[in-house]
Amino acid sequence: MTRREFFIGAAATAAAGCVSATGADKPVVDQNLSVFLSDIHISGLNVKGQPTYQNPLLDKVLDQILAMNPRPARALVFGDVALWNGWAADYAESAPKLKRLTDAGIEVTVTTGNHDHREPLFAAYPRQKDITPVPGRVTSKVDLGTADFLLLDSLNENPKGEGTGNKVDGTLDDAQAAWLMKTAAEAKRPFFVGCHHPPQEVLVTVGSGKKAKKVSVLAALEDNPNFAGYVHGHNHRWYRNWFHKGYSKRHVVRYACLPSTGWWGTIGFATFRTFADRAELKLAPGHDFFFPKPLAEGERRPPMWDEIKREDAASGACTFLYAH
């Protein structure tokens, strides 16, 4: 071990902030450990033909999180909390499920996806309305331990509200974009950005006057030395990627897509651990794959599903380095 590695390791250990809960039988809480969930698509409507198989799959993930030791300090949910059209009943069903985490001392922060509606979400998750720095948007700044996460609201909402379909593609309104760029400029430590949609759909205006143009959030933040990476949901696939702004320098930015907790595609959740010099996003054990829905009783499992599972497991981590 080199001298530099020794001091990095010592700093990471000190920053880990593992706090033992009261009582010897309770798990340790790691202040630098988070879990990331996305696309939970919970159904609260007792309507014939509306699928509910995803509801117990969320319960299974919550069981797994609560069994972790050390236990994560927080959980972030990257949108599509509701099944299809953001019904209040969907949020009334999902909120008690996620309350299992808050009852265990795990802070829960959610944002919207294209299947959500803001007002019924706020009604079921009133904390989100209290903490948002952008009124009317499900936006948060979350302390991850050695870094911050700026969780954005990329919903392009149908103004008719609950029960109506929204545009599938994401967007970022001017108020959120202004808050994002101001917060990024004032950052004193590493920060991540994320929301439901991939970065190519989350555009920010840079420049002014005739020179003003819209660019992806990655291009807008790439030159910020504290910007550490981007995480999103929406695509129901586990993958890692990287972005470069041009060919004049060697710097690249990492970004990653989360699995769906139980709807279709790669099924499961991810852990996110911050260190003194980096953060690591990992696909949690026990993940699965199915499309477009789970197997019926007696139905043969397609071999490609298992092949995708093996490939996901083989590429099951993404490292984000803090320093440019």
For residue 178, give Cα distances in angstroms to 78, 184, 222.
Answer: 21, 10, 16
CA 153 to chain centre: 11
Tens of pLDDT along 163-190?
999 999 999 999 999 999 999 999 999 9
**Bridge partners (DSSP) listed for residue 239:** 257
Confidence of residue 11 (pLDDT cuts 50, 70, 90): very low
Tens of pLDDT along 286-313?
999 999 999 999 999 999 999 999 999 9
- Asked if residue 297 lies in contact with residue 198, where contact means CB atoms within 8 angstroms, the answer is no
Q: Is the peptide bond before 285 cis (omega within 30 degrees of 0)?
A: no
**Given this model, what pLDDT does residue 18 score?**
53
- By DSSP bridging, strand 28-37 and strand 71-77 are parallel
Dist. CA 140–CA 145, nearest whole Å: 15
Question: CB neighbours (10 Å) of residue 55?
Answer: 18
Tens of pLDDT along 103-161?
999 999 999 999 999 999 999 999 999 999 999 999 999 999 999 999 999 999 999 99
Tell me the pTM: 0.92
